[in-house]
Structure 1
Amino acid sequence: MKKEYYEKIIEELIKLIDEGVYIVDNRGVGRFYNDVMASLEKVNVEDVLGKKFHDAFPDMRKNDSTMLKALLKAEPTVGQQQSYKNFYGKEITTVNSTVPIVVDGETVAAIEVAKDITNIRKMSDTLLELQKSKEKPAENKSLIKRYTFDDIFGENAEFKIALNRARKAADNNASVFIYGETGTGKELFAQSIHYCGKRKDKPFLAQNCAAIPESLLEGILFGTSKGSFTGAVDREGLFEQANGGTLLLDEISAMPYDLQSKLLRVLQEDYIRRVGGMKDIPINVRIIATVNEPPEELIAQGKLRKDLFYRLNVVNIQIPALRERRDDIPRLAEKFLEKYNARFEKEIWMLSDSVVKKLQEYSYPGNVRELENIIEQAVSMGENEHVLTEKNLAMPTVSRKSRPMEIEYTGEFALDKYMGEIETKIIRDALLETGGNISKAAEILQIKRQTLQHKLKKYKLTVG
């Protein structure tokens, strides 16, 4: 096959790839450059093809460029974050994987595959600034709702065990591990432990580990050091911002496994090192970690390191689901009734017996958060009749009880197709029940919101 045929094949393949691809020869001249790369670097393909690397990207320095490192030192790079300016001065942040092409000991070309994370980088910078201003003891007190044990109610025996353990935890500085389903009040417990304890005048910061892209979480937690990548600045992470206080790591099982290992080292040695930094920074931070699935299952699934769990599980608190403490439902409903009467300026002072019965019969996959939402809806739509009746109660109507599904067997049976149909129907039912609210549907299905969004895309389901 002639050389030009190979080049044509490579060119067409590059067009099909969803990520940016840039190939230079041994002189640094651009030979292949796909439309995706042009889009993420905010240039035209013609601005790069046939031009030397330095002419296309004059801002890029030798020591910072993954492409030049591959070309000049024959060093491959995988998954490195890189910030730089394009030919027009536009700043871009990408995650790059770059490999040299070596023939007979000589580097003849370099290939770079890149993913644009400019917007994610900006989001993380904004998030860090918000986190930094969110909780400073003597300053922005109005920016965060502070909960204490006075805000927690429950007379159920199992719930009181959890509450008593939390009260004892407030008296010391040990790490705390809280397990409870979505909506059971894990952050309520965490804040109460902090604000009723010895660290109450120090910062309380919270980070949901599932809400941040894995590639950014390390920098958010540990901070960054100037020079770790182009455009990087010396910036405190959450550990430094929370120094002397408490850091809540929500959904810690969503943290990448290798980052869990780094967290374990921090807990053992009481110091952190910023991303790209060489200096060990001593810290004094209490860690409270939460999960919404049984920890033993998360460990078995490889989502939670066993050694990290043991290190965090000094104080173990298990918050029972609302369906396991039905005796608390009437009083909780009354408290929410008082709250939303005041908010909506209503005068609905009582729950009818039939409403109480109906509330106690429901299973609450969303737990206390779902009960509060039901009462909020009822009060907001109710009339000032002093008694909340069933006509005001918008209880979920789709039954979640297991029911048999008919299978039409025709001699052939595609299990994957059938399971997909079942999953599609269940998702549609949940969306119907919640009026198309993805977050609430995810709670009903007991999966993460991101997982549900992925399944909506997978099955081509629309909301609304």
Structure 2
Amino acid sequence: MNKIEGILENLINNLKEGIHVVDSKGKTIYYNKSMATMEGLKREEVLGKKVYEYLKEMEGTSTLMNALKNGEEFKDVVQQYSNNHGKNITSINTTIPVIIGDKTVAAIEIARDMTQLKKLNEKICMLESAMKEKENNYTFKDIIGNSPKIRNEINKAVKASLSNSSVLIYGETGSGKELFAQSIHYNGIRKDKPFIAINCAAIPSALLEGMLFGTVKGGFTGAENKKGLFEEAHRGTVLLDEVNSMEPYLQSKLLRVLQDGYIRPVGSNKIIDIDVRVIATLNEEPENLIKEGKLRKDFYYRLSVMRIDVPSLRERKEDIKEITEYFISYYNRLLSKNVKNLSEEVWDKFQQYNWPGNIRELKNTIEAAMNMVDDGEILTKEFFENKFTIVGDMNNDSKFTGDLSLNDYLEEIERSVITKIYKKNGENITRTAEELKISRQNLQYKLKKYNL
């Protein structure tokens, strides 16, 4: 082995992905450590042998052998199978035939181990379903606030609850999108039917398709007859959380489901009629996602028959007091305490802060303070020191504490600087842009972004 071959051998053998290469006769000529670990086999069991000799159930279904036989490339194919020792494996494979002239001389498979992730996803879905059966379901009375912005969106959501049309809910992370989604379902005509939520960002698209539409035995290696979430939710509601995380091809399939009212399980030729109301959520501006190619325009239009825009907490600061009092009362009951209120100084700081994490951040902030305070005390500044290091005057030498992400921290500083210069110039856009040395258009974008 020469030096270059040695370097390549070392590189491939230390990749996280499994690498499997067979020659023109289908015999294994390369099998790296990751592939051996994933399939639970030793390299000596595999080298020089054909796939079905050590993976008996793969005969006729192996993507490696099919690529070799037909010269066909396979991309992101899910395979579920067992080795000869009974270990179950789930992988996502890309398989490429090596063609020289007009002959296929080898085939290369690159595999990602999804076995544990698949098990984890199934457990999470089971746990979430069990928890939702036990927990109190949210309704509109659980949405706190009386500001015009939140009341307007609640009124739209109430009307949406009386319809069967698709609903798109846009809002920043932590603003309460699922609260709206559950309220629409449990206030509506489907309230006695299933409500199934799935986080599209947490599951790879290759697995998500089978989870949504179901699978049939023989549809792909190791596939079983299994109902998908759409079939489980028949006559009820499916919540697709962070739907923009889906690959465009899966968005296209979902669009067909919404238009035609039926699903086709993975690997099946049969269709199943379904009656499901879809509610989808986005935590980024839909228009920007469409421009970036992350959200299909036709899919967006079909989802947003009715659209709810959940305002961020900084857009409805008049609700902070009511929401804070609610969380204080909640944690008083939970922690058996008797906290009365916040100090005036803390109330002022709460109003100054922009709450990039929205209601979720406010809840976590109150929870942390309530765990530290003694019975009967007012929550004063010392219980929020980490928060106020950042909430304080950004023009001073405030230090980054890690309480926020770096991006959120930098946005807080940018907002503070723009606010100061904008006010100093009497809210004159031209003078402010000149002093900040940015274009008028850029300044106008930032003024809108920071709600100034």
Interval containing the TM-score (normalised by the shorter chain)? 0.7 to 0.9
Q: Is the 8 A contact 1:194 1:200 kept in 2?
A: yes
1:37 corresponds to 2:6: no
Q: Partners in 2 of 1:374 and 1:12 — Cα distance? A: 49
User: Which residue in 1 is equivalent to 2:76?
Assistant: 79
Q: Partners in 1 of 2:234 and 2:80 — Cα distance? A: 29
1:252 corresponds to 2:221: no
Q: Is the 8 A contact 1:124 1:220 kept in 2?
A: no
Counterparts in 2 of 1:276-291, with a 5 A limit? 276-291=267-282
Residue of 282, 298, 304 corresponding to 2:295: 304
Residue of 47, 50, 53 corresponding to 2:48: 50
1:273 corresponds to 2:264: yes
The CA deviation string for residues 246-281 of structure 1, in whole angstroms up to 9 with x for no partner, is 111111111111111111111111111111111111
Q: Partners in 2 of 1:227 and 1:370 — Cα distance? A: 47
The CA deviation string for residues 406-437 of structure 1, in whole angstroms up to 9 with x for no partner, is xxxxxxxxxxxxxxxxxxxx9x93xx332xxx
Q: Is the 8 A contact 1:128 1:220 kept in 2?
A: no
User: Which residue in 1 is equivalent to 2:26?
Assistant: 28
SS of the aligned residue for 1:67 comes to helix
1:319 corresponds to 2:310: yes
Aligned residues: 411
Q: Partners in 2 of 1:362 and 1:345 — Cα distance? A: 29
Paired residue type of 1:158: K
User: Which residue in 2 is equivalent to 1:125?
Assistant: 122
1:433 corresponds to 2:405: no
1:193 corresponds to 2:184: yes
Q: Relative to 1, partners in 2 of residues 1:148 and 1:402: Cα closer, same or farther, differing over 3 Å?
A: same
Q: Shift in Å at residue 147 of structure 1? A: 0.4
Q: Is the 8 A contact 2:79 2:93 kept in 1?
A: yes
Q: Partners in 1 of 2:358 and 2:281 — Cα distance? A: 16
SS of the aligned residue for 1:325 comes to helix
Q: Partners in 1 of 2:178 and 2:198 — Cα distance? A: 11
Q: Shift in Å at residue 168 of structure 1? A: 1.2
Counterparts in 2 of 1:337-348, with a 5 A limit? 337-348=328-339
Q: Partners in 1 of 2:380 and 2:99 — Cα distance? A: 77
Could you list the runs of 5+ residues in structure 2 that have no partner in the other structure? 412-452
Q: Is the 8 A contact 1:181 1:321 kept in 2?
A: yes
Q: Is the 8 A contact 2:78 2:207 kept in 1?
A: no
Q: Is the 8 A contact 2:352 2:391 kept in 1?
A: no
1:150 corresponds to 2:141: yes
Q: Relative to 1, partners in 2 of residues 1:208 and 1:446: Cα closer, same or farther, differing over 3 Å?
A: farther
User: Which residue in 1 is equivalent to 2:17?
Assistant: 19
Q: Name which of structure 1's ranges 342-351 and 87-96 shifts more when overlaid on structure 2.
A: 87-96
Q: Partners in 2 of 1:332 and 1:73 — Cα distance? A: 63
Paired residue type of 1:191: Q
Q: Relative to 1, partners in 2 of residues 1:376 and 1:100: Cα closer, same or farther, differing over 3 Å?
A: closer
Residue of 215, 238, 243 corresponding to 2:229: 238
Give the alignment's TM-score, normalised by structure 1. Answer: 0.81
Q: Relative to 1, partners in 2 of residues 1:5 and 1:69: Cα closer, same or farther, differing over 3 Å?
A: farther
SS of the aligned residue for 2:225 comes to coil
Q: Is the 8 A contact 2:199 2:242 kept in 1?
A: yes
SS of the aligned residue for 1:109 comes to strand
Paired residue type of 1:56: Y
SS of the aligned residue for 1:341 comes to helix
Paired residue type of 2:110: V
Counterparts in 2 of 1:188-227, with a 5 A limit? 188-227=179-218
1:293 corresponds to 2:260: no
Q: Relative to 1, partners in 2 of residues 1:201 and 1:9: Cα closer, same or farther, differing over 3 Å?
A: same
Q: Relative to 1, partners in 2 of residues 1:343 and 1:84: Cα closer, same or farther, differing over 3 Å?
A: same
Q: Partners in 2 of 1:10 and 1:396 — Cα distance? A: 50
1:108 corresponds to 2:105: yes
SS of the aligned residue for 2:320 comes to helix
Q: Partners in 2 of 1:124 and 1:387 — Cα distance? A: 43
SS of the aligned residue for 1:266 comes to helix
Q: Partners in 1 of 2:116 and 2:410 — Cα distance? A: 30
Q: Partners in 1 of 2:11 and 2:137 — Cα distance? A: 55
Q: Is the 8 A contact 1:377 1:394 kept in 2?
A: no
Q: Relative to 1, partners in 2 of residues 1:344 and 1:10: Cα closer, same or farther, differing over 3 Å?
A: closer
Percent of matched pairs sharing the same residue: 46
SS of the aligned residue for 1:387 comes to coil
Q: Shift in Å at residue 40 of structure 1? A: 1.9
Q: Partners in 2 of 1:348 and 1:28 — Cα distance? A: 72
Q: Relative to 1, partners in 2 of residues 1:228 and 1:346: Cα closer, same or farther, differing over 3 Å?
A: same
The CA deviation string for residues 384-409 of structure 1, in whole angstroms up to 9 with x for no partner, is 235333333345134379979xxxxx
Q: Partners in 2 of 1:399 and 1:114 — Cα distance? A: 45
User: Which residue in 2 is equivalent to 1:412?
Assistant: none
Q: Shift in Å at residue 333 of structure 1? A: 1.0
Deviation beyond 6 Å, 4+ runs, structure 1: 3-10, 400-404
Q: Is the 8 A contact 1:396 1:433 kept in 2?
A: no
Q: Relative to 1, partners in 2 of residues 1:443 and 1:381: Cα closer, same or farther, differing over 3 Å?
A: farther
Q: Is the 8 A contact 2:216 2:268 kept in 1?
A: yes
Q: Shift in Å at residue 99 of structure 1? A: 2.9
Q: Name which of structure 1's ranges 354-363 and 364-373 shifts more when overlaid on structure 2.
A: 354-363
Q: Partners in 1 of 2:103 and 2:349 — Cα distance? A: 77
Q: Shift in Å at residue 69 of structure 1? A: 1.2
| Cα RMSD for the two superposed structures | 3.0
Q: Is the 8 A contact 2:205 2:250 kept in 1?
A: no
